[in-house]
Structure 1
Amino acid sequence: MRAMLRWAHADLRTHRGEALFLISATAGIVASLLLAAALFGYATNPWQRVFTQSHGAHVWIRTAPTADPSRLGALDGVAALSGPYDTVATTVASRGARAAAELRAADAVPPATGRPLLTAGRWLDPAVPDGVVLDSSLAAALVAGPGDTLTLPGGTGRTLTVLGVADTAEPRYSPGERPGILWAGASAVDRTPGRSGQVVGLRLTDPDDTAYAVQRAVTTLGAGAVTDIGTWQQTRAEAQGDTRLLGQVLGLFGLAALLAAALAVFGAISTRVRGHLRDISVLKAIGFTPGQVVRVFLVQHLAFAALGAALATVLTQALGSRIPGRLGDAVGVWQGLPGHTAALLAVPAAVVVFIGAATCLAAWRAGRVPPVPVVPAAATAGRGLTGAARRALAVRGVPPALVLGWHRAFSRGRHTPAAVARLALPLLLMTVALSAWTTIARFDTSPERLGLPAALTARPADGVGDREARALLQRSPDVVDAHRGLEVAALVPGQTGTIALRGLGTRQDPYPYSVVEGRPAHGPDEAVAGQGLLDLLGVGVGDWVRVTVAGHPQVLHIVGRSIEPENGGRTISTSLDTLRENDPALRPTVYHVRLRPGADPHAVRAELAQAAAGRLDIHEVTGPADRLSSLRGVVAGLLAVLALIGLTELSTAIGGTIRDGERDLLALKAIGLSPRQITAVTVTAVGCTALAAAVAGTALGVPLAHWLIDHEGRTSGMGAGIAHGPSALHLLTLTAGAVLGAVLLSAVPAARAARRRLADTLGAVA
């Protein structure tokens, strides 16, 4: 045992940098996987907790006021109803903030199904007829809490008093897209002007039969009576949203980095075994068994892995909740979940076991080394110069060190492609990470190419006509155009759900769609659709689809696929003229405002809101870049972890190149090369290996990144066509950094090897 420890200690002293890199890389990998587990738990838990505690409804159906939703309780598969509730669409304001709201009539006792969970204040009180309870997302948008007052539109001076704030498993408030929920007494709803309707929630006995239950409910009520349908799957997906994407990114890169680290360990041990064949033979000659030799390497690298895993676990547990933004919130919530302790132990243990398996595989070769050292066949065969190398040496002006270094780098037989492949893997992953970074940045710099040409949306108040609204918007010199728009909920074929049907722009003033397949919609009945809608209906570009709006069919020809960042891509868009052909009474309800390049949306919004004096409800358009801002920090951390793995592999490649060059050292000195030139030979060999790996990694990483990002866009409903690879300058910088790092890291050990005494060199060759 003492001899084993002395051998391990001597090996550690020789490869201290490599050990530090392995420990740091393992810590980064374990931290990435733990944060991924936290994000997955956080993405699912908050909504699931509210849904379970509130006995939430699986389906929410909004109908016309003349319908009778109470009949749905008699359908097979419906366990309970929440409602029906009378509703009024209105707008409320508080402290200068305005928001669209659905005022929903409720009783003095919260319902048993779909029950709002109070987080502040109290429930409705008959003694306060104008008291309301706000959904928490709407309360956050209005910065309102118990005791505050909300102002209703119309100039009547009527106000509502906030009694409480509650969480709900229904879709959250989204400015300009989805109204927030206010629960109020029936008398308050009846006295509020606005578009009236009803809403009912269905709790099903079998949630997997949601589509069939929705179809039966629509058939019972009549397609003309249904205005909107929301299912629990859609709501859960929206609640998880980009948090789950962050978890997927961290998990994917964590597993890929784990594979790269395992390969780095495998390469390090294999290279070390080749360089210490004589020492291992001596150990066996003095009595070491093959198992003891294997255990020396295994215990040493398991200790590195365990130390890195323990360090990452302690830091994540102690400091993870202090990380700014969503990551810190996720860790804080995850630490209170039932499976937290199990994941905290299982993830590091799995990483250590995986690295241990790679260590065993590489160390097994050390156990097979015979007690009497045998010169490898490759060495006895000789490694003469190739014809190309001899011709290059004959060219006047070509440095011999450059030619010999290139020859050494690519004349190591099967070890050369193995070293290049191991080093290329972290560089490939770094290229993918950079592609994710540039794709997110593109949403900021070129949103018009990714389905977000408008920076602002404006909704006119009651009584404000089209001409007046456009005149108000055109007052700012920063406004380029204000495209008229209208969005309605439409039933899909089969009546299993609703989609967003949008009329944007006119034939004289077309809307600038981001079409990535087919062409824009110009003619009558032509439309473009998002990937989510194409997947939902099982159609493609060139097909005709039939949707139902308030009982009226609308047949559209899909001529293009556009990038749709919102609504899961379940959107079909046509011109406002096409919608008016079926219903001439339709009027634009929203204006998509495009700004000149360089204009500040926040400043323009403030300017327009002041000029409109309450006649327009103006919001900034939020894109994926706003929601994915925390992903940039994640990508930066992943790049650091991958860089550590790359440094580990570089140190292995340097050691292998120096050991392989020991046999050539005497020959190089014999032909008159100085120690400086011999050093240049080794440095050039390492640099050529790094250059080959960088070229291979970036060449394979760019198409892989495009495929991964477009695949994520396709599965999320946004659609393929959003990927944007790193610029040529970034790829060149990555390649140059890899080569320069290899050269700098190899300079000192190569210089030491070049100045070895002849006796040392003869001993190494013997």
Structure 2
Amino acid sequence: MRAVLRWELADLRAHRAQAALMVLVTAVVAVSLILADALLVDATNPWQRIFKQSHGSHVWLHVRPGVNTSPLARLDGVTAVAGPYRTAPSTLVRSAEKVSLELRAVGPALPAVSRPLVQTGRWLTPSVTDGVVLESSLAHSVWAGVGDDVTVRSVDGTTHTLRVLGTADTADQGPYPDWTPGIGWVLPATLDRIEPDPARTQQAIGLRLADPAATDFTAQEAVNALGSAQVAEVSTWQQVRSAMDLGNRLLGLMLGVFGLVALLAAALAMAGGAGGRVLAQVQDIAMLKAVGFTPAQIVRLFLYEHTALAVAGFALGSAAASLLGPLLPGPLGQSMVLWQGQPDHLDAIVATGFGVVLSIGLATALPAWRAGRVPAVPTVRSDRPAGRMSRLARLALLLRLPPALVLGARDAFHRPLRASLTVSRLAIPVLMITVALGGWATLDGFQQHPQRVGLAAPLTARPTGLDDASAQRLLNRRPGVAAAYPGVEIQALVPGETTSITMRALGTSAHPYPFAVAEGRGIRDTDEAVAGQGALDLMHVSVGQWVRVMAGGTPHILHIVGRSIEPDHNGDMLSVNLDALEGPGGLPRPQYYALVLRPGANADAVRAGLTAASHGRLDVRPTADPADQLGPVRVVVVGLVAVLALIGLVELVTATSHALRDHTRDVGVLRAMGLTPRQIATVVVTGTGLLTLVAVVVGTGLGVVASDALINLQGRASGVGAGIAQTPSPWTLLLAGALAVAAAVCVCVVPARRAARAPVTSALSTF
């Protein structure tokens, strides 16, 4: 064992740079996987924690006032009931912000089921009749803190001033603004004062189930027990959890996928490096066998060395992630803080480390086995004949290129198996870098071409104290506004009545709204609709089918003619023309107007102009862009590209060492042929550069295909829908490929020139 350790230490000292790169690559892969673990755990942890602590409800129903809800408590599987609580729609006005708010009447005692978790301040008290407790994400969005006064406007336009007593978390619905309206809890007497008309209120009731898997069945039974015409909205715990974990889940999946691919690439790179070291140390291995080492000991020697490097790398990476991870900005740092507070996070680190070390150990097993087969008697090194000249070398001859380039083209592919392995190992990082660039291009597409991803209207105008005719005249006359589409959003029960989705009526048959349709076609008739991927999944239908939904107590039979790109509400959107909701009294009154601007119009200028022209009676706001919430994705993409580039660097070092070893014995011959040291170095550089060029072409082509597939798959899983992927521009791909080839040349030029200047006697000594 002492001899083994001494040999390993001597080998590491002789290859310090290569060993350091292996440790560094393992460390960055470990950091990626640990951050992915933290993000994926944190993706569901907020909902799980809040739901458990609040004793949350699995199903929430909003029903019409006066409906007897007592039958719900007697349904099979229902263990507890929250409410019913009277609710009223309103608008919260905070400085220039106006947000939709649902006021929920709750007593001064915290309920046992679906109990709001007070985070700051205190709960409602009878001594403060004008108090309100705001849901935490809503309070954060409008910058409202404990002790602040907020203005609440009821449906009839009456305003009331309320004092914020506290903020609270809830598992009843997702965070604002992904889930609207926001929630505010008030005393029953306060709600009576703000909304005295019972016809404008609803009842919210939550059902806690013994079996969460029976949510859909119980929700359907609840709607049947009350009557579908009496139920306005149904939401389930699956929808809330999905709304809470979307952002972190995307980051976690990105880090996880890239981390696993990086681990594969790192393992292959280390296997190539180990194989090269075995070939370079044939005489040393033979000497070890001559002094008594068995083949099994030789195999263990190489496995121990590379396993030790993997353990050192993972230890470095896990320490860096544990110490520096909580300091990272945004969701990465927050997730690490929460994850480190979990009792089982150490088990996850150990499991990740075991997987990393095992992967690298298995990758180096084949080179170690080849080392064990080296004969104990040193033999004269002789390579197999190069075989026929490659087509690339023939082409170089036909083009009368300089001799150094011709020899480099020949050397690049005269060993087909080794060349194929090198190209494969280099192509994997290039492939994933292309995928990362595709993710970046998709984010740019959200911001630069929002109409392609369902954001044709960059502004939304809501009349406040302005009649519809005046609002339409003002919007249509405003310079910069190309079209103003009236819109209404209501909740609709899906077929089977197990949950509800948002039904959006936007535009008219005469002036249809330009929905971004990725599959099928747009709306033409009043009985047609387009749906987001999330809505199609909830309704279990596809494009071309008919569905029956219950909206506002009225059944609607609609033909799904297209799938639209829907970045809002996790894609749970069913869109129709406003004509589809026309009743005996005509078209419903628009709740808002979606404003499509003329090319070149500045959204901020149009917004300011409309606000001034309407004297504040038009609440004009920019349409939320989901790309604004995915800023951390760009940071992650940059980090992943750096990690993959480092892995590619390791493989380039390995390929260069192989090329130099092959040319060590050729230096004297090439000099005798008249080649200068610079030309000899050019031979090595040309061979490595050509291998890198082929890897770039292969990896980029596969990466473009994989990028579109992975991004569209994530879009489908998130409810937005497939069709959002953007391919990086050809110039971007060309620049990335040129940088990769240039990096390969820079990596191998220095050692190649050093080897070319070596004395001829050193080359002869290798025979």
Tell whether 2:131 aligns with 1:128.
no
Match of 2:319 among 294, 314, 325: 314
Correspondence for 2:641 among 636, 639, 642: 639
Matched, 1:437 2:440: yes
Question: Superposed, which structure 2 residues align to 1:159-558 within 5 Å?
Answer: 159-172=161-174, 174-175=176-177, 178-193=180-195, 195-374=200-379, 379=382, 381-386=384-389, 388=391, 391-392=394-395, 395=398, 397-461=400-464, 463-474=465-476, 476-558=478-560
Structure 1 residue 393: Cα displacement:
6.6
RMSD: 2.2
Shift of 1:236: 0.6
Distance 2:476 2:175 in 1: 29
Q: Please report the TM-score for the alignment, with normalisation by the length of structure 1.
A: 0.95
Using the alignment, how far apart are the partners of 1:63 and 1:387 within structure 2? 77
Deviation digits for residues 199-246 of structure 1, max 9, x if unmatched?
Answer: 111111111100000100100111111111110000011011111111
Alignment-mate amino acid for residue 447 of structure 2? D
**CA-CA distance at 1:371 after TM superposition:** 0.5
Partner Cα separation in structure 1 for residue 620 and residue 393 of structure 2: 74
Give secondary structure in 1 for the equivalent of 2:128. Answer: coil
Deviations 1:307-354 (A, max 9, x none): 222222222222211111111111111111122222233323431232
Any conservation in 2 of the 1:103–1:184 contact (CA below 8 Å)? yes
Decide whether aligned partners of structure 1 residues 395 and 91 sit closer, same or farther in structure 2, where only a CA change above 3 A counts.
closer
| Aligned residue among 694, 698, 701 for 2:700 | 698
Aligned partners of 1:430 and 1:393: how far apart in 2? Answer: 31
Partner of 1:85: 85
TM-fit CA distance, 1:251: 0.7
Amino acid at match of 2:130: D
Whole-Å separation in 1 of the counterparts to 2:18 and 2:584? 72
- Deviation by residue 1:474-523 (Cα, 9 ceiling, x = unmatched): 56534332211111111111111111211111122221111111211123
Letter in 2 for 1:700: L
Aligned 8 A contact 1:22 1:644 in 2: no
CA distance in 1, matches of 2:30, 2:5: 27
In 2, the alpha carbon distance for the partners of 1:507 and 1:192 equals: 38
2:761 to 736, 759, 764: 759
* Cα deviation 1:64-102 (Å, max 9, x = unaligned): 113222321111111111111111111122344322211
- Give secondary structure in 2 for the equivalent of 1:263: helix
Query: Secondary structure at 2:67's aligned position in 1?
Result: coil
Bigger Cα displacement from structure 2, 115-124 vs 258-267: 115-124
Amino acid at match of 1:184: V
Which consecutive residues of structure 2, in runs of 5 or more, have no partner in the other structure?
Answer: none
Query: How far does residue 24 in structure 1 lie from its aligned partner after superposition?
Result: 1.8
Quote the Cα distance in structure 1 between the aligned partners of 2:215 and 2:207.
10
SS of residue matched to 1:486:
strand
* In 2, Cα distance between equivalents of 1:16 and 1:620: 56
Is residue 2:102 matched to residue 1:106? no
Which of 618, 621, 624 matches 1:622?
A: 624
Q: Secondary structure at the residue paired with 2:715? A: helix
Query: What amino acid does structure 2 have at the position aligned with 1:409?
Result: A
Q: Which residue of 2 aligns with 1:23?
A: 23
Question: CA shift at 1:468, angstroms?
Answer: 2.0
- Say which SS state the counterpart of residue 512 (structure 1) adopts: coil
Distance 1:400 1:113, change over 3 A: same
Aligned CA distance change for structure 1 residues 549 and 396 (closer, same or farther; 3 Å): closer
Give, as a single letter, the amino acid of the residue that structure 1 aligns with 2:740. A
| SS of residue paired to 1:414 | helix
Q: Distance in 1 between matches of 2:151 and 2:175?
A: 18
Choose the corresponding residue for 2:710, options 708, 711, 724.
708
How far did 1:608 drift? 3.5
The 3 A distance-change label for structure 1 pair 7 and 596 is farther
Structure 2 letter corresponding to 1:253: F
Partner of 2:501, secondary structure, is strand
Q: Answer whether contact 1:479 1:593 (CA < 8 A) is retained.
A: yes
Aligned partners of 2:159, 2:278: CA distance in 1, in Å? 85
Q: Identical aligned pairs, as a percentage?
A: 49
Alpha-carbon spacing, 1:702–1:213, altered in 2? closer, same or farther (3 Å) = same
Distance 2:704 2:719 in 1: 23
Of 274-283 and 176-185, the range deviating more from structure 2: 176-185
Determine the C-alpha separation between the residues in 1 that align with 2:392 and 2:133.
Answer: 82
Counterpart of 2:457 in structure 1: which amino acid? A
Q: Secondary structure at the match of 2:416?
A: coil
The separation in 2 between residues aligned to 1:359 and 1:390, in whole angstroms, is 33
| Alignment match, 2:691 | 689
Matched with 1:32 is 32
Give SS of 1:565's match: coil
Provide the aligned length of Structure 1 versus Structure 2: 762
CA distance in 2, matches of 1:387, 1:691: 16
* Offset, 1:388: 4.5
Say which SS state the counterpart of residue 288 (structure 1) adopts: coil
Gaps of 5+ in 1: none
TM (norm. structure 2) is 0.95
Q: Go from structure 1 to structure 2 and tell me whether the alpha carbon gap of 1:464 and 1:399 turns closer, same or farther (over 3 Å shift).
A: same
- The alpha carbon displacement at 1:760 in A equals 1.9
User: Structure 1 stretch 58-67 or stretch 348-357: which is displaced more?
Assistant: 348-357
What whole-Å deviation, never above 9, does each CA across 1:241-275 have from its counterpart, x for those lacking one?
11111111101110110010000111111112122
Q: Give the match's secondary structure for 1:352.
A: helix
User: In the TM superposition, what is the alpha-carbon distance from 1:613 to its structure 2 partner?
Assistant: 4.1
Q: Is the alpha carbon distance of 1:123 and 1:758 closer, same or farther for their aligned partners in structure 2, counting shifts above 3 Å? A: closer
CA distance in structure 2 between the partners assigned to 1:425 and 1:431 by the alignment = 10
What whole-Å deviation, never above 9, does each CA across 1:511-561 have from its counterpart, x for those lacking one? Answer: 111111121112332221112222223322222222111332211122211
